[in-house]
Structure 1
Amino acid sequence: MMTKAEVIAILSAQSGVPAASMTAETLISDLGLDSLGLVETIFALEERFGVTIPFNANTPQDDSAFDLSTVAGIVSGIETLIARPAAA
């Protein structure tokens, strides 16, 4: 799916890890991003997809949390946000 390829491209650009070495199961913690790098990645994702990633990202106890732990989690979260109707 196109979203996955674009998410991987953004993660690769932010982390310096080759896109070809990433899969859906790749752990974001394995990409070597520091906290600033992760924030920059979130901004890049928001800008590219026209979404706002919630502040509760990666809050395991919250069922509506945006999963930032894996590539698949980010792709799923982005697709969910894209599918939501825009707030009035």
Structure 2
Amino acid sequence: MTDTIKSRIRAIIAEQAMLEPDQINDDATPEDLGIDSLGLVESIFALEEEFDITIPFNANEPDKSDFDISNMGTIIAAVERLVAQKAA
């Protein structure tokens, strides 16, 4: 399941960044991918819709939220955690 979630997340972010999913690695930040703040908000909405989850409104402040959007690896881990919590 995790690889499927990871590939779906990469596809959503890649679409926003106008890249191919295989061009996105876990260390890439939204800025590295050319995603501005509006693009990041659109990506968050797309992730919420795709996985039927709610991402905290303060996700851009990792010290105040369990959802860290600083790079792809942390975004993937946070979405996986929310999906697992929803399934539990």
Whether TM-score is above 0.5 comes out as yes
What is the TM-score normalised by the length of structure 2? 0.85
Amino acid at match of 2:84: A
Question: In the alignment, does 2:4 pair up with 1:6?
Answer: no
3-state SS, counterpart of residue 31 of structure 2: helix
Measured in 1, the distance between the counterparts of 2:70 and 2:61 equals 10
Aligned residue pairs total: 85
1:25–1:71 Cα contact (<8 Å) kept: yes
The structure whose Rg is larger is 1
Q: Unpaired runs of 5+ in structure 2?
A: none
Match of 1:78 in 2: 79
Match of 1:33 in 2: 35
What is the TM-score normalised by the length of structure 1? 0.85
Measured in 2, the distance between the counterparts of 1:61 and 1:67 equals 8
* Structure 1 runs, 4 residues or longer, greater than 3 Å off: none
Q: Quick check: 42-51 or 21-30, which moved more?
A: 21-30
Measured in 2, the distance between the counterparts of 1:23 and 1:33 equals 14
Percent identity at matched positions?
45
3-state SS, counterpart of residue 30 of structure 1: coil
What does 1:41-80 align with in structure 2 at a 5 Å threshold?
41-62=43-64, 64-80=65-81
